[in-house]
Amino acid sequence: MTPILYSFRRCPYAMRARLAIAASGVQVELREVVLRDKPAAFLAVSDSGTVPCLATDAAAIDESLDIMKWALAQNDPNTWLDMPKAGWELITRADGPFKDALDRTKYAIRHPESDPEEQRANAAFFLAELDQTITTWLFDHPTIADYAILPFVRQFAFIDKAWFDAQPWPRLQGWLDRFLISDPFSEIMSKYPQWSEGDNPTYFP
């Protein structure tokens, strides 16, 4: 069967899964999920009940980074997986401490035990390090690290874009700006209607 990707357009985890799938050229059936109205077919295959989830003949893949690796293992024409070990370490930090600080900044009301200004400073520490790493990309060509991390930098930037733009991070800001106007980003941000059982399939890319 054609693999089925349960996705949500604005979720950064789903964004990075779609970025890797689009880069690989491996076609999936895309099913847009509305998180407040999750379909039974999605809940039946996703152990976590979160997007993205990729249902294949072999298994359901419930983690976005694993979906990226799956897609690029099928086909990696842009050599995103040709990356130093440091790239995987950056992804781990982005998915761990940075994302935690991002959430505690963006969704401060859900985390009354945390100081949002302190959490923003924690996130900014990581971004300042990235700024020192970036030339055009994190390494000498685009890799899975760039596209795994950029959707979360985007999410953080738009918490307070004026504040973000005022920071002394010219290389990081340029990296994000180029991403936001790029063809890969435009391609994955097309709008799709909510999927319902019985709908005709929507194929992606």
In this prediction, residues 182-199 reach a mean pLDDT of 96
Q: Say yes or no to pLDDT of 121 above 90.
A: yes
Q: Please, which pLDDT band fits residue 104 given cuts at 50, 70 and 90?
A: very high
Domain hosting residue 120, numbered range: 85-183
Provide mean pLDDT across the span 103-110. Answer: 94
pLDDT at 95: 98
Number of residues that make up the chain: 205
**pTM, full prediction:** 0.96
**Whether 47 and 27 share a structural domain:** yes
Same domain? 48 vs 96: no
Q: Are residues 34 and 92 in the same domain?
A: no
In this structure, the answer to whether residues 72 and 158 fall within a common structural domain is no
C-alpha span between 83 and 10 (Å, rounded): 27
Q: How confident is the model at residue 71 (pLDDT cuts 50, 70, 90)?
A: very high
- Same-domain pairing of 177 and 114: yes
Q: Are residues 9 and 62 in the same domain?
A: yes
For the chain, how many structural domains are there in total? 2
At residue 19, the pLDDT reads 98
**Helix or strand or coil: residue 6?**
strand
Q: Evaluate whether 38 touches 52 at the Cβ level (below 8 Å).
A: no
pLDDT category at 24 given cuts 50, 70, 90 is very high
Percent of residues, the chain, with pLDDT higher than 90: 97
Total Cβ atoms within 10 A of residue 193: 9
**Same structural domain, 118 and 178:** yes
Does residue 124 share a domain with residue 169?
A: yes
Can you name the residues that pair with 7 across neighbouring β-strands? Answer: 32
Residues 196 and 205: their CA atoms lie apart, in Å, by 20
Span 158-189, pLDDT tens digits: 999 999 999 999 999 999 999 999 999 999 99
For residues 89 and 170, membership in a common domain is answered with yes
Place of tokens 């880069």: 23
Residues 198 and 133 in one domain: no
* Contact yes or no for 194/31 (Cβ under 8 A): no
- DSSP string for residues in 22-58: HHHT--EEEEEPPTTS--HHHHHH-SS--S-EEE-SS
Domain at 138, CATH number: 1.20.1050.10
Confidence bin at 1 (pLDDT 50/70/90): confident
Burial track 7-35 (b if 16+ CB lie within 10 A, e otherwise): bbbebbbbbbbbbbbbbbebebbbbbbee
The mean pLDDT of 124-131, rounded to a whole number, is: 98
**CATH number, domain containing residue 38:** 3.40.30.10
Residues 39 and 55 grouped into a single domain: yes
> 98: closest CA among 68, 119, 114?
119
How high does pLDDT run on average in the chain?
Answer: 97
- Average pLDDT of the segment spanning 2-19: 98
Domain co-membership, 91 together with 174: yes
